[in-house]
Chains A and B, each alone.
With several copies, the nearest count.
Chain A
Amino acid sequence: MTPVESLTGPHSRHPLEERPACRAPQPIVEIDRLSLYYGDKPAFQDVTLSINKGCMTALVGPSGCGKTSFLTCLNRLTDLIAGCRVSGQITINALDVLAPGINVIQLRRRIGMIFQKPNPFPLTIRRNLEFPLREHGIRDREQITQIIETTLRAVGLWDEVKDRLGSPALALSGGQQQRLCIARALALLPEVLLMDEPCSALDPLSSGVVEDLIVGLRGRYTILIVTHNLAQARRIADYAALFWVQNGAGRLIEAGTAKQIFENPRDPLTAAYVSGMRG
């Protein structure tokens, strides 16, 4: 049993669409001529890309090319940044993400996000998971306990923390914290998972565990992962996209299947990047 199969068990609290494997490319997120400006300065411009359902898409590129900024457009975290302006179009499952009137709270629930630096709340381990659930209307104690166990099992943390759910989450090690954050996102049953370099702040042991976990999620969730680790991208991604800074703004240089990008890059920049880098 992969860690995630257990998720579909007692956890399926409302009828879930069958989680799709990544076979026939079927776009779920469509991004059209997306640009983002911080004040007057563009972070990236004119990105057009579609993300396929159930697939793992890796975003790679040098620092500052706008990868993080790109992710934050998808769940409208950009709303939190003063002076940040987004233009273009994003549709997720036919929902116009950038429309002014949409329910951002619901949108963000459907799109989970994992940050580079593990950021559990300064609460107990249990409260970290319980608190968002309650917010989203799940009040039943037993159901919550159930979900907490299931998700913690899914991220392989259950055995490590089951005896100290009441202790502070910040006392966990980095890798444990990151897995807790993933569990926290999974508990809300998102349709799309955004991961911003989820392993880069971890040591290799923890990083390995988290990577195993992500691999386990593959085919179950639609995942968009930013990574610096090209070897990792190569190992786990179905699709890949390369960003690069040109004329002071990030651009999408090339996108395609991981195989094609890494083995047969069309753009000379891509070729240079995937070959020349150290891993």
Chain B
Amino acid sequence: MTSLSNNTLSRWSTDELLCWSLRGIATIAGTIVMLIVVFLIVEALPVLHHVGLLRFFTDPSWHPAEGLYNLTPMLWGTLFAMTGSVLIATPLGILSAVFCHYYAPSVLARPYRRLIELLAGVPSVVYGFWGLVVLVPLIAEIQPPGPSLLAGILILTIMILPTIALMADASLANVPQQYLRGAAALGLPRWATIRGVVFPAVRSGLFTGVILETGRAIGETMAILMVCGNVVQIPSTIFDPIRTLTANIALEMAYAIGDHRAALFVSGLVLLAMIVALVVSAEWVSRGRMYG
């Protein structure tokens, strides 16, 4: 990679101006994160003061109206829903992009891409609504009650699929032609080329896609609230209802007061901590090489 960073010596003021204003702009992104963290902490402070952080993990249950604040089941709920959907959506999304580039005749590739772009913009309430009236009754037929971890995973999968699919699509478009021609000249069949040559070449883009989709999966609120059942428990099967941290906030924030309200902001903080853990471990996995 080339970088212009060392070239601070030029006397061209426009360049300096540009560099510094870009830095200013970029700082905004960082500042927003800071502001959000500070905001969450300030709002959560009262309850942290009263009950301390530990009880959010050791209390017998989540009944904030009665002073019980255990968040652990929701932490698991969030983790299960996220993991499940990322595990399904990632291969589906990547295969979708592969379809567009290497399998679909061009008359199909274009509308298919458009279709995925559309999926990216359907509001989460529509997904949730559809899940509630179509998907959940279907699941209820198999194994009551219907609203369940499974429903959440399926809806989340549809929702995050476009993110990974479009990112993968953009990365595949950048694969140097010479790799493809080299592979073809060796008589490598299509899938072998994709698996052996294309995927290694687009690691960085795929990785970015996974990070973004995971973020979206963790953060999704409305749809998950409508299909997951929202019972605070650690699920023992995928047919059990769960509640995620986001659903917890959305569900109870509207009518919560005092410590209950502050406790919901602790949910937000815990969620943020989860995201930070995710980002850090992603960095650790890639060891800084993936972004190159």
- Annotate A79-112 by CB proximity to B: 1 below 8 A, 0 otherwise: 1111010000000000000001111111111101
Q: Is there an interface contact between A82 and B1, defined as CB atoms closer than 8 Å? A: yes
Known contacts A107-B187, A135-B196; is-contact A101 B11 (Cβ 8 Å): yes
Give 24 A-B contacts (CB < 8 Å), ordered by A residue.
A75-B185, A77-B181, A77-B184, A79-B9, A100-B9, A102-B9, A103-B10, A103-B11, A103-B12, A104-B187, A106-B187, A109-B186, A115-B182, A115-B185, A119-B179, A119-B182, A121-B182, A122-B179, A123-B196, A132-B188, A135-B192, A136-B187, A185-B185, A185-B186
Q: Is there an interface contact between B200 and A105, defined as CB atoms closer than 8 Å? A: no
Q: Is there an interface contact between A82 and B179, defined as CB atoms closer than 8 Å? A: no
A residues whose Cβ falls under 8 Å from a Cβ of B: 75, 77, 79-82, 84, 100-110, 112-113, 115, 117, 119-123, 127, 131-132, 135-136, 181, 184-185, 188
Residues of A close to B189: CB separation below 8 A = 105, 135
| Residue B32 interfacial (CB < 8 Å) | no
Q: Which residue of A lies closest to B176 (CB)?
A: A119
Q: Which residue of A lies closest to B193 (CB)?
A: A135
Residues of B close to A135: CB separation below 8 A = 187-189, 192, 196
Q: Is there an interface contact between B6 and A82, defined as CB atoms closer than 8 Å? A: yes
Q: Give the distance in Å from the alpha carbon of A107 to the alpha carbon of B186 in the complex.
A: 10
Q: Which residue of A lies closest to B9 (CB)?
A: A100
Residues of A close to B11: CB separation below 8 A = 101-105
Q: Is there an interface contact between A121 and B183, defined as CB atoms closer than 8 Å? A: yes
| Residue B27 interfacial (CB < 8 Å) | no
Q: Give the distance in Å from the alpha carbon of A82 to the alpha carbon of B2 in the complex.
A: 6
Task: Give the contacting residue for A188; candidates B4, B181, B187; CB below 8 A.
Answer: B187
B residues whose Cβ falls under 8 Å from a Cβ of A: 1-7, 9-12, 106, 178-189, 192, 196-197, 200-201
Complex A-B, nearest 10 residue pairs according to Cβ-Cβ distance, in ascending order: A108-B187, A109-B187, A113-B185, A79-B7, A119-B182, A119-B178, A82-B3, A104-B10, A135-B192, A103-B11
Residues of B close to A112: CB separation below 8 A = 185-186
| Closest CB in chain A relative to B115 CB, distance in Å | 22
Q: Which residue of A lies closest to B178 (CB)?
A: A119
| Inter-chain CB contacts under 8 Å: number | 101
| Closest CB in chain A relative to B93 CB, distance in Å | 22
Q: Which residue of B lies closest to A131 (CB)?
A: B196
Residues of B close to A115: CB separation below 8 A = 178, 181-182, 185
Known contacts A101-B11, A104-B9, A123-B196; is-contact A184 B3 (Cβ 8 Å): no
Interface centre among B1, B2, B3, B184 (most CB of A within 10 A): B184
Q: Which residue of B lies closest to A124 (CB)?
A: B200
| Closest CB in chain B relative to A261 CB, distance in Å | 27
Residues of B close to A121: CB separation below 8 A = 179, 182-183, 196-197, 200-201
Residues of A close to B180: CB separation below 8 A = 80
Q: Is there an interface contact between A82 and B106, defined as CB atoms closer than 8 Å? A: yes
Q: Give the distance in Å from the alpha carbon of A184 to the alpha carbon of B4 in the complex.
A: 23
Q: Give the distance in Å from the alpha carbon of A104 to the alpha carbon of B10 in the complex.
A: 5
Interface centre among B182, B186, B192, B197 (most CB of A within 10 A): B186
Contacts A102-B9, A105-B12 known; list 14 others, CB within 8 Å.
Answer: A82-B5, A82-B6, A100-B9, A105-B189, A106-B187, A109-B186, A112-B185, A119-B178, A119-B181, A121-B196, A127-B196, A131-B196, A184-B186, A188-B187
Residues of A close to B188: CB separation below 8 A = 105, 131-132, 135
Q: Give the distance in Å from the alpha carbon of A121 to the alpha carbon of B197 in the complex.
A: 6
Known contacts A117-B178, A131-B196; is-contact A81 B187 (Cβ 8 Å): no
Q: Is there an interface contact between A80 and B183, defined as CB atoms closer than 8 Å? A: no
Q: Which residue of B lies closest to A121 (CB)?
A: B197
Q: Which residue of A lies closest to B186 (CB)?
A: A132
Q: Give the distance in Å from the alpha carbon of A163 to the alpha carbon of B121 in the complex.
A: 47
Q: Is there an interface contact between B184 and A81, defined as CB atoms closer than 8 Å? A: no
Residues of B close to A185: CB separation below 8 A = 185-186
